Every structure is written in C-alpha cells, then in structure tokens.
Structure 1
Amino acid sequence: MLQKHFQMLARYNTLANRRVYDTCALLADEERKRVRPAFFKSIHGTLNHIMVGDRIWLSRLTGKETPFIKLDTILYEDFAELNAVRILEDRRIEEFAAELTEEFIKGTMKYINSQGKFYEDPVELLITHFFNHQTHHRGQIHDMLTQTEIAPPVLDMHRIINP
C-alpha cells in the first residue's frame, strides 16, 4: 500500500527536519547565512528553498492554486520564524499523507513548473519526488554542517524511524 509508504516518508520528513533544525539552532545566525559552495548559497538559503519547494508541491498535490515563488526566495530571514513555520508545514505534510487514497495516488496530475512548462505526470511519481526533493536538500545542509564546528545529525531513515 503506497498510502502507508508515503505516510512513513512524511513522518521521516518531520523527524529529519527536527534533527536538522535542532542542529542548525546551535549555529550563530552569521554561520547559518555564511555563503558556501552550495546551490542555494547557505544553510539558511537551503532551508528556505526546501520550504519553497514544499509549498509549491503541496499546493499542486492538493489542487490549490500554486503560488509563483522563485526557487531561491528567502521566505523567512529570521531563523526562529522559519523554524516555527517548518513545524507547521511538516504537520500539513503529515496530514496530506494521512488523507491519501489509492485512487488519487494512481492518477495523473497536470501542472505548470516554475519555468512555465506544462507537464502531466503520475501522482505516485510526483509524491515520491516531493519527499526525495527534501531529502536531497537536507543532504546538502548536512554537507554544509560539516563545514562548521557543529557535527551534523544522523539522518539515516532506519535510525530515525526505528531508533
């Protein structure tokens, strides 16, 4: 059952984000925002990008109007505010996963990407991408944390879901 699988990924996402944010909270704001060799330029920039991606994909997947947000937008300059909003967004993601039906998962979805290109893809693939996108960018944050004096957290799924 893919519903249970996606529910597990939603739970993992929440728990992994808590570990990342708790670790990032140990850094000074200057260190979180330090420009590094990363696509979104900093830990803070990458945390914001994950939020942007989550909002875009969750809007698409729930059939709501998709906001136009540039992928490198800093939604929240203040880390405490970003952290608080992350908790709410993760709750929304878990609620979304809890309401999934096999019928929806097996369907297709039409959408326009951030470059204005039209797509129609299997929903199963898009939900998988949604969770993979978060994991991909958390991995980048993990790497950037190794460039600080704070040890990055363990993010292995089997150590978080089944400690």
Structure 2
Amino acid sequence: MLIQHFQMLANYNTITNRKVYEVCSQLSDVERKQIRQAFFKSIHGTLNHIMVGDRIWMGRFEGKQMPSTNLDAILYEDFDELRSVRVLEDERIEAFMSKLNEDFLTKTISYVNNQGKLHTDPPNLLLAHFFNHQTHHRGQIHDMLSQTEIAPPVLDMHRVIRP
C-alpha cells in the first residue's frame, strides 16, 4: 500500500510540474527571474531549487553519496532547457517509483546534510520528505504566480489526479 502511495505521489509530481511549467512559460524571462519575497528569490530560482533537491534525493535513493550543497544553485539559466530537463527528471522519478519494492523500504539511507552532519533515516521518511519538499516549493511558486497577471494553476491533488 505504501509503495502505491509513493507511486501516486510520483504521478502527481509529474502532472503538477507540467501544469506549473506551462503557466510559467506564459511569463517573460524577466518576470520569471524577478526578485520577489521568496526564499529562492524568484520563480526561476525556486524551479531550479526543486531540481537541485530532486537530483540530490534521487541520487541518494539510487545509492550515491550526494551532499546537500549549493541548494540555491541556478543549474539552468534558460527556462526552456530547465523545462526539458524537468520532464526527464520526472520520468526518472516515475521510473524509480515504478520499481520501488519492500526490500528498499526496509533498509536505511545514510547521507550528509547541508550542515555536514551524517544522518541515517528510513526510506519511507525520506520519500515522504522528497515529495513534500516538491509540494512545498511549488506552493511558493504558486504564491509568486499569484503576484503576476498569469493565474496560478490548480494544484490540489484530488483535482489533479482524479480520473
């Protein structure tokens, strides 16, 4: 049941990212990069941060040592390139979750956080954090979009994934 839940969250993540990027594509580059009252300074900065976080956590889930560094990095200045790699990253996430099994969930994952401290946590906690992190920052983007002339998309899970 937990595996199906994470697979549902992966699907929700893909759909909502498409919705967010579609709306963001209607903004000018200047407006996407406009400094706003937000932790990662702009819509573009926050989209990049979500990508940074996703890559760190996916690397950890895949057994790689991924330090929590450069969380505010701008990986892609070009929005179209960022959008293209977002699609690929979402495909990676969905493929990983489609192969999720009980064996993975019974192990632990060790990682170094951004203060340099080693943590060891159960995968179900980290997977929940992974999806919650994305939702949290998409919410910030939603708020920043509401400050533009472009209406933010509906992101409510029950509305997005309803058949």
* TM superposition score normalised by structure 1: 0.97
Residue 18 (structure 1) aligned with residue 34 (structure 2): no
Asked whether the 8 Å contact 1:52–1:69 carries over to 2, the reply is no
- The aligned residue for residue 119 of structure 1 is 119
- Gaps of at least 5 residues in structure 2 are none
CA shift for structure 1 position 18: 0.2
- The aligned residue for residue 56 of structure 1 is 56
Distance, in Å, in 2 between the alignment partners of 1:153 and 1:81 is 21
Q: Cα RMSD between the aligned structures? A: 1.1
Distance, in Å, in 2 between the alignment partners of 1:139 and 1:50 is 11
Of 5-14 and 67-76, deviating more is 67-76
Count of residues in Structure 1 that have an aligned counterpart in Structure 2: 163
C-alpha deviations, 1:105-152, integer Å up to 9, x for none? 132211111221100111100000000000000000000000000000
CA shift for structure 1 position 72: 0.2
C-alpha deviations, 1:33-56, integer Å up to 9, x for none? 000000000000000000000000
Distance, in Å, in 1 between the alignment partners of 2:107 and 2:37 is 39
* TM superposition score normalised by structure 2: 0.97
Query: Which residue type is aligned with residue 153 of structure 1?
Result: P
CA shift for structure 1 position 67: 5.7
Distance, in Å, in 2 between the alignment partners of 1:124 and 1:21 is 28
Distance, in Å, in 2 between the alignment partners of 1:121 and 1:142 is 30
Distance, in Å, in 1 between the alignment partners of 2:88 and 2:152 is 23
Distance, in Å, in 2 between the alignment partners of 1:6 and 1:106 is 15
Asked whether the 8 Å contact 1:10–1:97 carries over to 2, the reply is yes
C-alpha deviations, 1:3-54, integer Å up to 9, x for none? 1110000000000000000000000000000000000000000000000000
- 4+ residue segments displaced more than 4 Å: none
Distance, in Å, in 2 between the alignment partners of 1:146 and 1:51 is 22
- Gaps of at least 5 residues in structure 1 are none
- The aligned residue for residue 46 of structure 2 is 46
Distance, in Å, in 2 between the alignment partners of 1:80 and 1:89 is 14
Query: Which residue type is aligned with residue 66 of structure 1?
Result: M
CA shift for structure 1 position 64: 1.9
- The aligned residue for residue 99 of structure 2 is 99
